[in-house]
Amino acid sequence: MRKPGHRARAVLAVLTAAVLASGCDSVRGDDGGTGVSRPSARPSPVWNAHPDSIAAVGDSITRGFDACQVLADCPEVSWATGADAGVDSLAVRLLGRQGAAERGWNYAVTGARMADLPGQMAEAVRRRPELVTVMVGANDACRSSVSAMTPVADFRADFERSMATLRKELPRTQVYVASVPNLLRLWSEGRADPLGKEVWKLGICPSMLRGADDLTEAATVRRQEVQHRVEAYNAVLAEVCAKDERCRSDGNAVFDYRFGTGQLSQWDWFHPSRDGQARLAEIAYRTVTERRP
């Protein structure tokens, strides 16, 4: 066999250089036949499981009402931002104790309803938090009567307005939305305690708790109406949150949690105790840090 001539060797060298210069993608066909290489880097995930600051908005549950003393707020045991070692709040779990003290802010207000949330959100926005926690809705159902409960349409409109308030200033801030607790279960658990029932008479959630031992058909229907309204509120919270790629709802985890007497305040047998606050913190931390498709 004759050795390749000078010209043949030169052509071979040029072809080899051309293939090497073109890179591997063209050889494998990774460009889909377009001749343009695809970027290899994947986009960063939208959800950050470890935000560096937290603002909480909501009602008495997030304020730790009746967890430390009767008829008083106790924000240090708040499931969202409290520093109490026995609770191990969401802020402590994510930021550490010092970080929670410096970059955890609680704007919840005892007695607040969904109509109050846009104002709270506006306050939270000033801190520019990386995560906002929302737990509100119990007071919308806990009214003087069934007819006084917040209409579902108004509840939705105020929640959407709250999210719009946040997004106008902080389009990348994440939101964790907790479901409204199961008020019917809280009545069922708390009514076994005589002291708790006396405290209920002071006006705690009368639509559900009034006449705690009344098991007539009318009372049963009233409680079911309140329960159905809570379920409707939870559907709204989940639906509005699902439209925002940086919002996660708890999938009804708080509503489904089977609070027992150990998780209820020893003063009113309705609000979460320290242990109850700790359970809420666990649910929140699991939701915020879990991996999702």
Residue 206 and residue 164 in contact, taking contact as beta carbons nearer than 8 Å: no
Locate the DSSP E strands across the chain: 54-58, 104-106, 131-135, 174-177, 247-249
pLDDT digit string, tens, across residues 83-132: 999 999 999 999 999 999 999 999 999 999 999 999 999 999 999 999 99
Q: Residue 234: CB partners within 8 Å, gap ≥ 6?
A: 137, 179, 180, 252, 255
pLDDT-based confidence at residue 192 (cuts at 50, 70, 90): confident
Does residue 250 surpass a pLDDT of 90?
yes
pLDDT digit string, tens, across residues 175-190: 999 999 999 999 999 8
The mean pLDDT of 216-245, rounded to a whole number, is: 98
Domains of the chain plus CATH, in order, are 54-289 (3.40.50.1110)
- For the question of whether the overall pTM of this predicted structure is more than 0.85, the answer is no
**Rounded CA gap, 229 and 249, in Å?**
18
Q: What 3-state class would DSSP assign to 175?
A: strand
The confidence score (pLDDT) of residue 290 equals 93
DSSP 56: E
**Rounded CA gap, 219 and 185, in Å?**
15
Nearest Cα residue to 182 out of 160, 205, 156 = 205
Does residue 7 surpass a pLDDT of 70?
no
